[in-house]
Amino acid sequence: MDKFRMIFQFFQSNQESFMNGICGIMALASTQMYSAFDFNCPCLPHYNLAYGLGILLVPPFILFLLGFVLNNNISMLAEEWRRPQGQRGKDPAVLRYMFCSMAQRAMIAPAVWVSVTLLDGKCFTCAFCTSVPVESLGNASHPHLSQGEIQQVLARIPCKEIYNGQQLIANEVAVRYLRCISQALGWCFVLLMTTLAFLVRSLRPCFSQAAFLKSRYWSHYIDIERKLFDETCAEHARSFAKVCIQQFFEGMSTDLVAARCHLPRKAPADAGEAAEKLLGITDQGTMNMALKSWHRCKPALHLHPPALPTGNGWAGEGQPPMYPSAPRRETAAYYSWV
């Protein structure tokens, strides 16, 4: 249990580790799904290819989309891409880094599915059984069979129980031939994916290490900023609800005092602390305006003293505010000794 607890804590350490754990779980789930899947080839000339390629390609596409759905950064990427310019510019390099990072993790489960499917060979055998070279592996001069009948017989190769073309080509020979090709393609696919992952991991820092570090830093910053904003909003909502409830009960107690002539109870000490956490935002319209202002014009990424509010109370609706240093006025006094 301690080892599982340590692994779980590692996955929760940061967003990247968490997503790596999710992708690993999805990869294991894809293998379990394929092992539990009941593969039944239709054994018909016009349906084998569609069924085999569908099992080979459609589940990886679904797993790829599921990898994007389970990634929490997809909403952050969409929000950063679609938000107005405001006071903060949008860096395309950071958006590309976020998208490539999510795409790389989402590709793990589909790659595992394709590898396992090709190494198993059932889908490839079902899809390309009608392409078996009968001239070199069987008896191409079998009499009383037209080309259409030969295709119909070859389409039954994956269905050993209904196959009736032993005189044309042995079922074991055709299945072994197709499975060997499928396994060769599977190992080539695994080698290709491993080589690409090695090149991406090893060669990318050699060419653009500074740009990579910058994009990675600001990507983490956007994630941390979003979490802190959500936590701040949750804390403000809690304080707002506490003050509203406290004022409601104070009003009810005042009415009861007026009716029954009882002294009101003393307000709890934490009501003042909750009021301080409201930061001056004490009504629904002002809070909605604050959220809208955060979406439209996020603060620029440089630290400066707080700006004075404009006429409507909210600065930064348009262009980013500039804070030039006020020029110092020097006054020269001249005295005459006349």
* Residue 272 CB burial class (10 angstroms; 0-12, 13-18, ≥19): exposed
CB 153 within 8 A of CB 165: yes
Query: Coil, helix or strand for 35?
Result: helix
Contacts of 50 by beta carbon, 8 Å cutoff, 6+ apart = none
For residues 283-293, average pLDDT: 88
* Other Cβ atoms closer than 10 A to 144: 5
- Expressed as residue numbers, the domain containing 162 is 1-138+145-208
**Residues 290-318, mean pLDDT to the nearest whole number:** 68
| Residue 68, number of CB atoms within 10 A of its CB | 15
Does 49 map to a domain? yes
52 and 127 Cβ atoms separated by less than 8 Å: yes
Q: Measured in whole angstroms, how far is the alpha carbon of residue 47 from the centre of its chain?
A: 35
Q: Distance between CA 35 and CA 33 in Å, rounded?
A: 6
Check: CB of residue 49 under 8 Å from CB of residue 70. Answer: no
Contact of 113 with 30, CB cutoff 8 Å: yes
Has residue 115 been placed in a domain? yes
When pLDDT is averaged across residues 75-87 and rounded to a whole number, the result is 83
Range with the largest mean pLDDT of 2-16, 61-75, 182-196: 182-196
CB neighbour list of residue 261: distance below 8 Å, 6 or more residues apart: none
Q: What is the mean pLDDT of residues 97-104?
A: 86
Query: The tokens 């994916």 sit on which residue?
Result: 193
On whether residue 8 sits in a domain, the answer given is yes
CB 112 within 8 A of CB 189: no
pLDDT digits (tens, 9 = 90+) for 206-259: 777 788 888 888 888 888 888 899 999 999 898 888 888 888 888 777 766 665
Alpha carbons 187 and 150: distance in angstroms, whole number: 31
Question: For residue 230, is it within any domain?
Answer: no
- Nearest to residue 241, comparing CAs of 213, 212, 282? 282
Chain-wide mean pLDDT for the chain?
78
Indicate the number of domains in the chain.
1
- pLDDT category at 123 given cuts 50, 70, 90 is very high
Q: Regarding predicted confidence, which is higher, 274 or 101?
A: 101
Classify residue 175: in a domain, yes or no.
yes
Within a domain: 321: no
Instruction: With CA atoms as reference, report the closest residue to 151 among 48, 55, 53.
Output: 48
Between CA 114 and CA 56 the distance in angstroms is: 6
**Is 78 among the domain residues?**
yes
User: 186: Cβ–Cβ under 8 A, 6 or more apart, which residues?
Assistant: 114, 115, 117, 118, 119, 121
Q: Is residue 255 part of a domain?
A: no
Task: Report the alpha-carbon distance of residue 143 to residue 164 in Å, rounded.
Answer: 15
